[in-house]
């Protein structure tokens, strides 16, 4: 998780090291994504700036981390769309199709999303998928296609359980964070 004392809008970096996944405020202050353990003295050539808007993502062909937490970019503005004014993934889908192939971390938390674009489950290097605080009622079975996935956060969603096919394939390989063990 991103440290609570992170100032909004400040550059945050994502590091994919051989021994873990880190969220970094600078090359000197990083937190391990799954445990929250702080580390220091990282190699700067492994740090990647986190992209924080679809406009910026559209201009970032080799982005490694996309953080759209509570993003106005995911509100539909297309007057011809049935979801105008609501959470919509149309623009996200187009950006991920164009520039998402190197993505390691995707945060879509707190956007009231009830569905995800299929392209999310086709990202070959995705390791962290944060879907917390949305309106998802189930974990899509297509999540098993994410062979590099290490952390799936679905806390704060009205999910009733993990589908058996998903649980069977991800058990012991992926940390699934959810509210309870229904």
Q: Is the pLDDT of residue 4 over 60?
A: no
Interval 106-124 mean pLDDT: 95
Average pLDDT over residues 117-123: 96
- Res. 169 pLDDT band, cuts 50 70 90: confident
Verdict on whether the full-model pTM lies above 0.85: no
Q: Are 107 and 130 in contact (CB under 8 A)?
A: yes
38 close to 29: Cβ distance less than 8 angstroms? yes
The pLDDT value given to residue 35: 55
Order the strands of the 128-130 sheet from edge to edge: 65-67, 105-107, 128-130, 151-153, 175-177
Alpha-carbon distance 119 to 172, whole Å? 25
Per residue in 65-80, pLDDT (tens digit) is 899 999 999 998 888 8
> Please, what is the average pLDDT of the chain?
79
The DSSP annotation for 111-168 comes to S--S---GGGGG-TT--EEE-TTS---S--GGGGG-TT--EEE-TTS------HHHHH
Do strands 47-49 and 13-17 pair parallel, antiparallel, or not at all (unpaired)? Answer: antiparallel
């Amino acid at each position: 998780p991103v440290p609570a004392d992170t100032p909004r809008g400040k550059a945050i970096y994502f590091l994919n090291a051989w021994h873990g996944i880190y969220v970094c405020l600078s090359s000197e202050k990083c937190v391990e994504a799954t445990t929250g353990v702080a580390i220091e003295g990282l190699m700067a050539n492994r740090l990647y700036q986190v992209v924080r808007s679809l406009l910026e993502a559209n201009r970032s062909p080799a982005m490694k981390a996309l953080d759209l937490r509570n993003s106005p970019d995911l509100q539909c503005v297309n007057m011809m769309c049935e979801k105008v004014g609501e959470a919509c993934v149309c623009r996200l889908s187009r950006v991920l199709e164009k520039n998402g192939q190197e993505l390691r971390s995707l945060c879509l938390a707190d956007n009231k999303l009830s569905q995800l674009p299929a392209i999310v489950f086709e990202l070959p290097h995705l390791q962290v998928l944060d879907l917390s605080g949305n309106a998802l009622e189930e974990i899509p079975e297509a999540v098993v296609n994410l062979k590099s996935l290490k952390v799936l956060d679905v806390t704060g969603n009205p999910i009733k359980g993990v589908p058996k096919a998903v649980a069977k394939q991800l058990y012991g390989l992926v940390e699934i964070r959810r509210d309870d063990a229904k």
